[in-house]
Amino acid sequence: MKKLIFTVILILLLTPMVYAQSSNRPYVILISFDGFRWDYPDRGLTPNLEKMAREGVRALSLEPVFPSKTFPNHYSMVTGLYPENHGIIYNDFVDPFNGLRYKVGDTTSVRNARWYLGEALWETAERQGIRTASFFWPGSEVHLSYRHPSYFKYYDGKVPYRARVDTVLAWLRLPEAQRPHFITLYFDASDTEGHRYGPNSPELNRAIERLDQTLGYLLNGVAALPIGQQVNVVVVSDHGMTRIDSTRTVAIETGLEDLPHRIQGYGPLVMISAADSLLPKIYQRLRERQNHYRVYRRDEMPTYFHFSRHPFIPALLVVAEIGWSLLPDHFPGAYLSKARGNHGYDNHHLDMHGIFFAVGPAFKNGYRCGTLRNIDLYPLICRILGIMPRENIDGTLERIEFILKNGS
């Protein structure tokens, strides 16, 4: 009986401490403006991003990983891993060992957990007792229940932007025990219009204004919440955008007609597979007419790309010069009559860089810094949430923690 009484008293004493710790735990909303280039905020169209910069942190740019494509970069941001280590090496690729294909837009493949290596931030947080949520993010809708957030949405680009924000605010109004402390939110407008009309078009500028207005709606909604002072808002983009046109193309398979091979990718990056006996010939012919691209064997890919170690990466890699498009024979000729912008090029080129803005109790005020790396977001957000990150990541807290107040 005495033991029971002691246990009850101990629980009563500790409960307020646990509740207080839970109530004071910060919140992080990670927002992606897909394809929002690093310099778009300098067009005078983004008063809400400017407000974030005045009150929080703005980086010169956010460096993506290679290839500077949507799915590889979104998954790098939430795992702290390069694509060669997290497995999403491109928006469309094949497992050479069984022929299975991963393709953006194919719900069966993008929801199959087999493709996603590493551990996403929502997995890290949930494993350590923190609820998470996602209104769209690559990797968040896998079928394995222990690998997706407590609350998540299957991707549907038709969902109105304000409806997405309203759902996020509703999640933050849930009772404490049900409330997510890490939330992702995704918008595509700048990427969609950048592809269609190019990065210097009026249509793209209207997309910039729309996204900034949506951000303002979110910030006002957060400020009105009882927990508003505990919420950190981080706005990023997965990559930038550069202008393309039909005068800058390379018919990449010209001269390879007699050498059976398989092409994956187009535009900024083409990956080539073939029988081992044919690979040297294909490599040599591509090198002989190398113009506006560079061809590499997988084992000679420059280390700064961090794109050689995954077994799904094909034997030959052809990287286009910025703004040039590599077109396989089977590729529809109408593509370049419709597209005016693209990405996926060398991730160190400034046109491929995105944005980083952050505001909230964890961040310094009115702080401007240089280029940050998107693989460092995972350890940064783990630090803010007070959780232990995975150790086997490529990102490091040391490169980015200086943007936090007192480094905490």
Closest CA to 352 of 235, 269, 241, 267: 241
Q: Under the phi-then-psi rule, with left for phi > 0, alpha for psi from -120 to 50, and beta for the rest, what region is 125? A: alpha
Neighbours of 365 (CB within 10 A): 10
Catalytic residue flag (residue 242): no
Q: Report the C-alpha gap between 12 and 203 in whole angstroms.
A: 60
- Sequence-distant (6+) residues with CB within 8 A of 268 are 67, 68, 319, 320, 325, 326, 342, 343, 344, 345
Cα angle 359, 377, 159 (rounded to 5 degrees) comes to 70
3-state secondary structure 176-196: HHHCCCEEEEEECHHHHHHHH
Q: Report the C-alpha gap between 286 and 252 in whole angstroms.
A: 8
CB 382 within 8 A of CB 26: no
Closest CA to 196 of 207, 186, 187, 185: 207
Q: Report the C-alpha gap between 220 and 374 in whole angstroms.
A: 26
Cα angle 123, 133, 364 (rounded to 5 degrees) comes to 90
Cα angle 31, 37, 41 (rounded to 5 degrees) comes to 80
CB 49 within 8 A of CB 41: yes
CA 397 distance to own-chain centroid = 18
Structure tokens at 214: 């949506």
Q: Which of 7, 46, 70, 303 is catalytic?
A: 70
Q: Report the C-alpha gap between 104 and 89 in whole angstroms.
A: 12
Provide the residue type at 333 as one letter.
Answer: G
What DSSP state is assigned to residue 139? T
Active-site residue set: 70
